[in-house]
A and B are shown apart, each in its own frame.
Chain A
Amino acid sequence: MQAAHRALIRIAAVWLMLSASVSAQEDPGKAMLGEVNVTVYYATDGDPAAAGARAAEVSSDTQSRFRSQPQLGFKNYRAIGQDIQPVLRSYESWAQPLKPSDEILIKFEARSAPTPTLMLLDLELWLSRKKILKTDARLEGNRPLLILGPEWRGGRLIVAVALAQKEKSGSN
């Protein structure tokens, strides 16, 4: 009986895989594997108003998260831009969190098939139109990549790269 159940589950799994393969046949390279959220923060020990009037306050959770990392400990944080872009199977994607400015860009491409909680990416950080950093990023459900970036107006910019959750907060 158990063997029969195993066989039936395998058959059902094959049906599911076949249907998934058909849906991506038009251009399998454009199949979306997930989404990446790139947010830029201004971090400073001085006056956070330097980030500008439109900069948003940051939740206490996020502030705590930053301060738990010795390298990212500052007195004040402000969010100054965000972009959410898809991870495609065979194409690279660019995130432009400070759009229309291209001062900070993140380029990423899937390295391998993701699991529900882990995405492996080839990721590049571009600053002032120069490729500054290249890394193989492991983005997990609750584990983002935080990059302490350039100085600006008495503080530093932190670029946070994370898997976007299902309910998109919107971009562009």
Chain B
Amino acid sequence: MNNPSGEPSKITQGPDGSIVMDVSSSDYEDDFRLVALAQKGDMRAYDELVTRHRGKIFAMIRNMIHQEADAWDISQDVFIKAWHALPRFEAKARFSTWLYRIAHNAVYDWTRKRKIESVGELNDEIFERERIDSASLTTPSGGEMPDQSMVQGELRNKIQAALNKLSPEHREVVVLKDVQGLSYKEIAEAMSSTLGTVMSRLYYARQKLQTLLKDEYHSR
């Protein structure tokens, strides 16, 4: 199975130096139009919504749990749940923010459910994910790769290893803010949290990551 290359971030630098998320207003308008159709039962419109947003949701979940196969499953659960919750979606928030909230809950549920409770005596130690061979994570397909890609790949691995050292809540704010490009307000909505909590978590998480990645961070 090939690991598809991700889309480069839509975070761009403006002429004044500011870093912003590059999303056109027509994207949001299209979303609302498709949502309105889907709310009436139009499965093709919903399929279009899935296609538009599956990359973001899959990337977010994968960055959170680092298990590609499970991220694949959980991403589908998100869209199935979103379909059933469509009647409750109001156009006050962006559809993508609403999806991130469902994804947040799905990741939380998955993390809780990972505790295996089956009848019989199994050696729980065997199934601790930390002890599962890390090669079970899908890695980019082998073969010759340009030097730049290898450097980027290594950097990505280092950043993800550092993210793994954070608690799920701290990891999530970094993923949503610095990878997915959500605003503080959107993150607070997605995580059902307050603006203040998001801000303090992000501050702490960035400080910790910058310490863990100081070699990478200061060399750029």
The chain A residues found within 8 Å of chain B, CB to CB, are 30, 32, 85-86, 88, 90-94, 96, 100, 102, 105, 122, 124, 128-131, 134, 171-172
- Given A92-B116, A94-B116, A102-B126, answer yes or no on A129-B121 (Cβ-Cβ < 8 Å): no
Does B23 make an interface contact (CB < 8 A)?
Answer: no
Given the contacts A91-B113, A94-B127, A134-B69, A86 and B133 also touching, CB distance less than 8 Å: no
Q: Identify the closest chain A residue to B127 (Cβ).
A: A94
Per-position 1/0 for B150-165, Cβ under 8 A of A: 0000000000000000
Q: Give me 29 A-to-B residue pairs in the complex whose CB atoms sit less than 8 angstroms apart, sorted by A's number.
A: A85-B119, A85-B120, A86-B119, A86-B120, A88-B117, A88-B118, A91-B116, A92-B113, A92-B118, A93-B116, A93-B118, A94-B116, A94-B118, A94-B122, A94-B127, A100-B123, A102-B126, A105-B126, A122-B73, A128-B133, A129-B131, A129-B133, A130-B132, A130-B133, A130-B136, A131-B69, A131-B136, A134-B69, A172-B120
Specify which chain A residues have a CB less than 8 angstroms from the CB of B73 in the assembled complex. Answer: 122
Contact A172 B136 (CB under 8 A): no
Within 8 A of A (CB), among B166-201: none
Chain B positions near chain A (C-beta within 8 angstroms):
69, 73, 113, 116-123, 126-127, 131-133, 135-136
Measured in the bound complex, the distance between the Cα atoms of B73 and A56 in whole Å is 38
Nearest residue (CB) in B for A134 is B69
Residue contact B117 to A91, C-beta cutoff 8 Å:
yes
Residues B116 and A96 in contact, CB atoms below 8 Å apart: no
How far apart are A125's CB and chain B's nearest CB, in angstroms?
Answer: 12
- The complex places the Cα of A91 from the Cα of B113 at a distance, in Å, of 7
Q: Bound complex: CA of A36 vs CA of B121, how far in Å?
A: 16
A99 CB, nearest partner CB in chain B, Å: 8
Asked, given contacts A91-B113, A94-B127, A102-B126, whether A129 binds B118 with beta carbons under 8 Å apart, the answer is: no
Distance in Å from the Cβ of B112 to the closest Cβ of chain A? 11
- Chain B residue at minimal CB-CB distance from A92: B116
A117 to B: closest C-beta gap in Å: 23
Complex contact B117–A30 (CB within 8 A): yes
- Chain B hits for A134, CB < 8 A: 69
Question: For residue B135, which residues in chain A have a CB less than 8 angstroms away from its CB?
Answer: 130
For residue A35, which residue of chain B has the nearest CB?
B119
Which B residues are CB-close (under 8 A) to A96?
A: 122, 126
Question: Which of the listed residues B73, B113, B121, B127 has the most CB atoms from chain A within 10 Å of its own CB?
Answer: B127
Query: Are A86 and B69 also in contact (CB < 8 A) when A129-B132, A129-B133, A131-B136 are?
Result: no
Contacts of B131 in A (CB 8 A): 129
A-B residue pairs, 10 tightest by C-beta: A93-B118, A130-B136, A129-B133, A102-B126, A129-B132, A91-B117, A86-B119, A131-B136, A130-B133, A131-B69
Residues of B within 8 A of A86 (CB): 118-120
Q: Is the CB of A91 within 8 A of B121?
A: no
Cα-based distance from A128 to B123 in the complex (angstroms):
16
